[in-house]
Structure 1
């Protein structure tokens, strides 16, 4: 008789007994397969490609004077470390909410690539390619999710992906709202001292 691959429960329905999959407990192994199971590794691959391309552009951009101000080594480090940790947690096939926080590093990876691309087309090789202004705009806010989560959300959810007690849940939601608000404000701000582009195409007057 073959063994069942996952926990089941017996449900009585009149004169019949129906076998249904049991709800997995928190921390229980998740079923294999499906796009959700492959997403952490896809985000990790995306982050590696973005950081590699961004570093390639950074090396090229260094030949232009004044471009070193547009490089922050913390950003590519987080863009790789976060998705790597998230993929490692996902490989254990357990339901850790913390892995989805770590995957925010994939957004930072895109921001790093956009920043270096904007530096390339605006400062290193002006007029050669287009899209520099929009790439610079992405770089002004894409750093926020992973960077702020590392400072605020990770300490609250470490090590099992849950707050220390139920009373901390409102604090977690306040922190998440704060990260979202900061990201939105950065995307709509009219002043960015570290932006490769001179202006924000989606700037809202009064947001500095």
Structure 2
């Protein structure tokens, strides 16, 4: 999970992990590189404890490689990253110095539906230096206008994998389909 500050990356990560574990009966683990935000590690540790899942904290690429090796036997390893000001390109480059974005990884850019289209496109542009596979749109319950989602998908040529509709873990997340996105936009 990558993205700017305040979009709900950590909560969304917990929702996905809980869904994977509870509904699909898969084993999950966590890696966090969010050593920047106060209490970020504690927040993810709380989710990990509830799910009885291991968590590794990484401060650099060596830590990340060790954690990845240590957790390789899990079905899914969810990686949380620090949200930073996307306008500062150095913050995006810092992610490359901590995480080995390789072929075994699926990278989701998390964006808030409450953002303006121009801002979401600017975020995408900055984070596209990293490989972005799909989008996750959060906070759909906090906005009345959702037409920007269609423009976002067309302009980025990226699909929306999941949407979130509240704070409840694991309930307030949906796997996206074209029908669901159209329904959200037209609702």
TM range (shorter): under 0.3
The alignment's TM-score, normalised by the length of structure 2, stands at: 0.22
Q: Which has more radius of gyration? A: 1
Q: Between the two structures, name the one with larger relative contact order (CA 8 Å, sep ≥ 6).
A: 2
More strand by share: 2
More helix by share: 1
